[in-house]
Amino acid sequence: MKSTGFYGQAVTQYLHLEHQPSSLITRSLRNAEIAVTEVLDDTPVEGPSGEMDLQDAYVVGLKLYDYPNAERWERGKPAAKTDIRAGATHLYDMKKNPRFIINQPLHFLNFYLPRSALDGIAEQAGAPRVGELPSQLGGGHDDAVVRHIGGALLPALRRPAETNHLFIDHMMLAFTTHIAQTYGGLRWGVRVPRGGLAPWQVKRACERLDSDLGGTLSLQQVAAEFGLSVSYFSRAFRASTGLPPHQWLLRQRVKAAQQLMTVHDLSLAEIALSAGFANQSHFTRVFSAAVGVSPAAWRRELSGVSENET
C-alpha cells in the first residue's frame, strides 16, 4: 500500500534504498504532516526511480552533492536535464509524478510539504489561500533560508533522540512560512503581536514548558491551551520572553542541571537525564555551548568556591 506522505518508507521505495532514511515530522498546522528526510547513498541502485503517490503536495529538495546531467521525467514524459549543484533548492509538484534517472551518488534533504500545510499557514496569517507554487524551481534555485534551515536540521536528523518537539515544530513552521511567502505570495493579514502574551499567559506557558523538560510537548499542544494559532503563539512567546519556546526550554534544562550539580552524589549522567537531556554527551554539548565550559569543569569550579567559603 502506498504511503500518504513522502518520507520514511515512501522515500526508501522511491529511491530503491537499502535502509530507511531518517525523517523528522511535525503536525503543527491543521495536523498536516510536514516532514524532512535526509538521503545519503554513495552506491545507489542505478536506474529509474519509483513513482510518487499522486497528491496535492510538494517536495522541496536541498541538494548536498553535485549531480551533473540529472534527468527528470514528469507525467511519464521527459521534462528536463539539469546540472544540479550542491546547495541548490529544487521544488517538485507531486501531482506531476516527478521521476528521476538514478546513476550517481545521492545526498540531499527532502522536505514534504502538503497543500493542507500551506492552507494552514494562510489561515493563521489571515491571508487568502496560497496558489500553485512555481514549477520552474524544479531546475534549481539558490535559497539561503532553506540552506540555513536544512543545516540546522541535519544534526537533529542524525541525533533524533536529542531533539525536542518544540525545535522541530519551530523549524518546520519557519520553513512552511518561508515557502508560502517567497514562492506562494503569502502576505500576512494578521498583525504580528508586539506586546506579546498577557502576564498570566506567559506564566502558564512557562510553567507548562518547565514541567516537560524532556520536550515531548508540541507547539500545537501549548498554543491550543490559550486558543491561539501556533504561529501567533510562537511570535508572542518570543516577544514576551526574548526567546522562541525551544530555546527557552534549553535554557531551563541548563538551569535545572546547574541546580542538580550542587548535589554531589549525583553523576553527570544522572543529572543529564533528570534535566531532560537525551544522554550525557547531549548534556555536555548543550551546557558547554550555553555556559562556555563543560559541566565537569563548572562543577569543579563550583566545588572550589564552596570549599573556599567554608
Looking at residue 123, its pLDDT comes to 87
In angstroms, the first-to-last Cα distance of the chain is: 69
How many CA atoms does the CB half-sphere of 249 hold within 13 Å? Answer: 25
Out of 78-87, 155-164, 193-202, 292-301, pick the least confident. Answer: 193-202
Pair 29, 118 in one domain: yes
pLDDT digits (tens, 9 = 90+) for 114-131: 999 999 888 888 888 888
- Are the C-beta atoms of 241 and 202 separated by less than 8 Å? yes
| Whether residues 98 and 164 fall in one domain | yes
* Grid cell at residue 153: 536540521
Say whether both 35 and 173 belong to one domain. yes
Domain of residue 222 covers 199-310
Residue at 206 is within a domain = yes
| Residues 13, 129 within the same domain | yes
Are both 282 and 231 inside the same structural domain?
A: yes
Residues 59 and 153 in one domain: yes
Question: Is position 192 within any domain?
Answer: no
Q: How many other β-carbons are positioned within 10 Å of the β-carbon of residue 307?
A: 8
Report if residue 164 sits inside a domain.
yes
In a domain, 2, yes or no: no
Q: Does residue 127 form part of some domain?
A: yes
Q: Is residue 224 one of the residues assigned to a domain? A: yes
pLDDT of residue 79: 87
Of the three residues 184, 213, 247, the one that is the final residue of a domain is 184
Among the candidates 158, 184, 210, a domain finishes at 184
136 or 158, greater pLDDT:
158
How many domains, in total, are found in the chain?
2
Check residues 1 and 274 and name the one with the higher pLDDT.
Answer: 274
Please provide the average confidence, as pLDDT, over all residues in the chain: 88
Q: Is the predicted pLDDT of residue 306 greater than 80, yes or no?
A: no
Query: What CATH code is carried by the domain that includes residue 291?
Result: 1.10.10.60
| Domain shared by 174 and 264, yes or no | no
Residues 165 and 283 in one domain: no
**DSSP states of 90-148:** EEEEGGG--EEEE-S-EEEEEEEEEHHHHHHHHHHHT-PPP-PPPGGGGG-B--HHHHH
C-alpha dihedral (12, 17, 18, 24), degrees to nearest 10: -40
Band of residue 27 on the pLDDT scale cut at 50, 70, 90: confident
Q: Do 125 and 218 fall into the same domain?
A: no
- Which CATH number belongs to the domain containing residue 32 in this structure? 2.60.120.10
In a domain, 75, yes or no: yes
Helix (H, G, I), strand (E, B) or coil at 32: strand
DSSP letter at 46? P
Same structural domain, 48 and 168: yes
CB atoms closer than 10 angstroms to residue 300:
12
Confidence band for 305, pLDDT divided at 50, 70 and 90: low
For residues 228 and 296, state if they share a domain: yes
In a domain, 194, yes or no: no
Over the stretch 73-99, which tens digit does the pLDDT of each residue have? 999 898 888 899 999 999 999 999 999
- The pLDDT tens digits of the residues spanning 240-250 come to 999 999 999 99
pLDDT tens digit sequence for 248-268: 999 999 999 999 998 878 899
30 and 155 share one domain = yes
